[in-house]
Structure 1
Amino acid sequence: MEKLTANTAKTRFGELLLKVQKSPVQIDKNGRPVAVVMSIEDYEMTEQIKQELLRKRLRAAHREVKDGLYEPADDVFESLSVNEPNP
């Protein structure tokens, strides 16, 4: 993935827009990565993949609940609570 400084991205914004049509571009500020700029097509594809993964996980969770393979939330929270000793 190509990398640009934030200053370069700002001063050459038109070039950045052309570059992201080919592949995402990482933007660094103070030597650290802070953002990735991508084409709208890549963004939409990423969002579609995320939605499909969420649907898959929801279907799996639904099957687990239907098959009784779950632990009630109250039991989970109770097991996580810290029992403080009485003074």
Structure 2
Amino acid sequence: MQTLSAKDAKYNFGRLIDTARAGPVTVEKHRRPVVVVMAVEEYDRLRVIEARLASGGKE
């Protein structure tokens, strides 16, 4: 997983988006991870998995 500082993410937002489309990106503030940015397709995939687990795997 790639990591960017909050400053780099702010000033290179287009790069952040492009990088996140290829895989999750951790954004750090004061060298501490604060958020993960990911492609919407990956987010949707995780939501489906979460819904299946919540329903006991029945779908």
Bin for the TM-score computed over the shorter chain: over 0.9
Hey, what's the Cα distance between the residues in 2 that align with 1:30 and 1:23?
Answer: 22
Q: Structure 1, residues 53-83: CA drift from partner, whole Å, max 9, x if none? A: 00017x7xxxxxxxxxxxxxxxxxxxxxxxx
**1:44-59 mapped onto 2 (5 Å cutoff):** 44-56=44-56
How many residues align? The count is 58
Scaled by the length of structure 1, the TM-score of the pair is 0.64
Between the aligned partners of 1:38 and 1:7, the Cα distance in structure 2 is 18
TM-score by length of 2: 0.93
Which residue of structure 1 aligns with residue 34 of structure 2? Answer: 34
Letter in 2 for 1:32: R
Matched, 1:23 2:45: no
The alignment-based identity, stated in percent, is 36
Whole-angstrom distance in 2 between the partners of 1:40 and 1:7:
23
Task: After TM superposition, give the deviation of residue 17 of structure 1 in Å.
Answer: 0.5
Structure with the largest fraction of strand? 2
**1:2 and 2:6 matched:** no
Structure 1 runs, 4 residues or longer, greater than 3 Å off: none
Q: Bigger radius of gyration, 1 or 2?
A: 1
What is the distance in 2 between the residues matched to 1:31 and 1:18? 22
SS class of match (1:15): helix
Please tell me the residue identity of whatever aligns with 1:33: P
